[in-house]
């Protein structure tokens, strides 16, 4: 019994150390800092490799090197993901072990970690060659490895907190923008449908014009020719500038509040001063 108890304490201690090592808010040791730098550099190199791999001449120089780097990266990210799931039960919010680990696996950061390696494993579960062709498209999910940087970047974490705290206000701004899009597209459709029946053939077709006008992109593939249409286009463009300034103001206020909160928070324990 004593041997079993000592073994359990040793395993628990290892799990605690693993959880603290992987989830420390700041580097608590030289080894922890080196691990964080290694993961960040590996993610950056994966992005560089994905970009270079799309250039056929570069990929043809050494396809085996790209493949070996992919296998090595997947192995590292897979081990990291498994260790995070295994050690997450050290947090009270992820207990008991089975349901707690399932709850942790459904958190946004854990899903990003899973999706970063998922395209590599998917083909092994399907023997149908037609399905394998489809899964080649899923490899685009490798780009989600850049999202893993959010775990190691305080700035990205702050952005996530701001988006969460200001989510309701941002949703309200987006809702107003959608209403403005529908109204402007409807007015433009009735103003231009007789002059340009093929271009502004319906309100949904006019919504493309509304989207590029509200965002001030203006591709020029659709533009008004009537007086009412030109007036509507000018008003829509000016309203679009104002509408996109609104979310910027909301996010700016959120960042100021988050910075003030961090100044009042202890960097070691996370409690307010």
Is residue 47 included in any domain, yes or no? Answer: yes
Non-local (6+) Cβ contacts of 141 within 8 A are 115, 116, 118, 119
Per-residue pLDDT, 29: 66
What residues make up the domain containing 258? 167-263
pLDDT for the residue numbered 9: 46
pLDDT digits (tens, 9 = 90+) for 207-260: 999 999 988 887 888 999 999 999 999 999 999 888 878 888 888 888 888 888
User: Rounded to 5 degrees, what are φ and ψ at 213?
Assistant: -80, -45
Which residue, 91, 254, 79, 227, is CA-closest to 162? 254
Please answer whether residues 100 and 88 qualify as being in contact, where contact means their C-beta atoms are separated by less than 8 angstroms: yes
Give 3 or 154, the one with higher predicted confidence. 154
pLDDT > 90 in the chain, percent? 27
CATH at 209: 1.10.287.70
Q: What is the DSSP string of 176-217?
A: HHHHHHHHHHHHHHHHHTTT-TTTS-SHHHHHHHHHHHHTT-
With 50 as the cut, is the pLDDT of residue 3 above it?
A: no
Q: Are both 115 and 26 inside the same structural domain?
A: yes
Asked, for residue 43, whether it belongs to a domain, the answer is yes
Tell me the pLDDT band of 55, cut-offs 50, 70 and 90. Answer: confident
Residue 112 exposure: Cα atoms within 13 Å on the Cβ side:
13
- 9 vs 38, residue with greater confidence: 38
For 246, phi then psi, to 5°, come to -65, -50
Total domains present in the chain: 2
For residues 60 and 106, is the Cβ–Cβ distance under 8 A? Answer: no
Record the tokens describing residue 51, joined without a space.
């970009």
């Amino acid at each position: 019994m004593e041997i079993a108890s000592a073994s359990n304490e040793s395993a628990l201690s290892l799990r605690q150390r693993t959880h603290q090592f992987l989830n420390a808010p700041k580097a608590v040791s030289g080894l922890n800092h080196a691990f964080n730098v290694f993961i960040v550099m590996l993610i950056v190199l994966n992005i560089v490799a994905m970009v270079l791999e799309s250039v056929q001449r570069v990929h043809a120089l050494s396809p085996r090197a790209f493949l070996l780097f992919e296998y090595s990266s997947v192995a590292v990210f897979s081990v990291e993901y498994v260790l995070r799931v295994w050690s997450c039960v050290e947090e009270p919010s992820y207990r008991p072990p089975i349901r707690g680990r399932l709850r942790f696996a459904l958190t946004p950061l854990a899903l990003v970690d899973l999706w970063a390696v998922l395209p590599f494993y998917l083909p092994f579960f399907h023997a149908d060659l037609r399905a394998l062709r489809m899964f080649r498209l899923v490899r685009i999910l490798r780009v989600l490895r850049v999202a893993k940087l959010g775990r190691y970047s305080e700035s990205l974490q702050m952005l996530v907190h701001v988006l969460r705290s200001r989510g309701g206000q941002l949703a309200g701004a987006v809702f107003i923008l959608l209403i403005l899009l529908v109204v402007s597209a409807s007015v433009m459709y009735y103003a231009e449908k007789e002059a340009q029946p093929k271009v502004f053939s319906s309100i949904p077709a006019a919504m493309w014009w509304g989207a590029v006008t509200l965002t001030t992109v203006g591709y020029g593939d659709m533009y008004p020719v009537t007086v009412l249409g030109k007036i509507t286009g000018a008003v829509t463009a000016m309203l679009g500038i104002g509408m996109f300034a609104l979310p910027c103001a909301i996010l700016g206020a959120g960042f100021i509040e988050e910075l003030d909160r961090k100044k009042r928070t202890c960097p070691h324990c996370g409690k307010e001063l």
